[in-house]
Amino acid sequence: MTSLVGLLGTDGYTRSLRDLLMKIRQLNAEGVSAWMYTGSYQVPPPTITGSVASDIILINEVIGVRTSISDHRSSHPSIDGLRRLSSEARVAGMISGKAGIVHVYVGDEPSGLTPIYEAIEGTLIPIEQFAPTHLNRNEWLLDQAVEFGKKGGYVDVSSCISPELGFGKAIKGSTAIKYLISKG
């Protein structure tokens, strides 16, 4: 592994973005290309500087923001909240010359990717502004991923989610990739 992106997950309350930033800087000093996302599952997201945009613009290692949808641990951001978050990350990315991506943890709730679709509907926010992950957690979400990808969105499956690792409904990463390719 020569590059990585660090992030906070469920626990954006007791874990620190500053500690994560210091770890990212340590890894870079050791020769690993490392970046990070600001935020966590919570909305409003925790930040280092006081805003998502400032974190992305002012901190070289911050390339976007993390959030969560369709999961019981999520803050269940409103559609307007997702729009504001994506717009803030997008503008900050444009100013700083970075991706400004919204990295989205997607859980098992039936809404799946619907909140992302609703956030971009009626706006000029491009679908590729969002990078949803863990899309191999069950069959119906993987089918949603096919459609998301066909519309130009990023599709991410996770090797840490598989039946062998205790996720009974999940599709093994390699199997999910083959399925996605077969569906175009």
DSSP the chain: --EEEE---S-TTTS-HHHHHHHHHHHHHTT-EEEEEEE-SSSSPP-SSSSHHHHHHH-TTEEEEEEEESSTTS----HHHHHHHHHHHHHHHHHHTS--EEEEEE-SSTTTTHHHHHHHTTS---GGGEEEE-TTSSHHHHHHHHHHHHTT------TT-SGGGT-TT---HHHHHHHHHHT-
CB atoms inside a 10 Å sphere around CB 1: 5
pLDDT tens digits for range 71-130: 999 999 999 999 999 999 999 999 999 999 999 999 999 999 999 999 999 999 999 999
pTM: 0.92
Per-domain boundaries in the chain: 36-133
Residue-level pLDDT at 168: 85
Mean pLDDT of the chain: 94
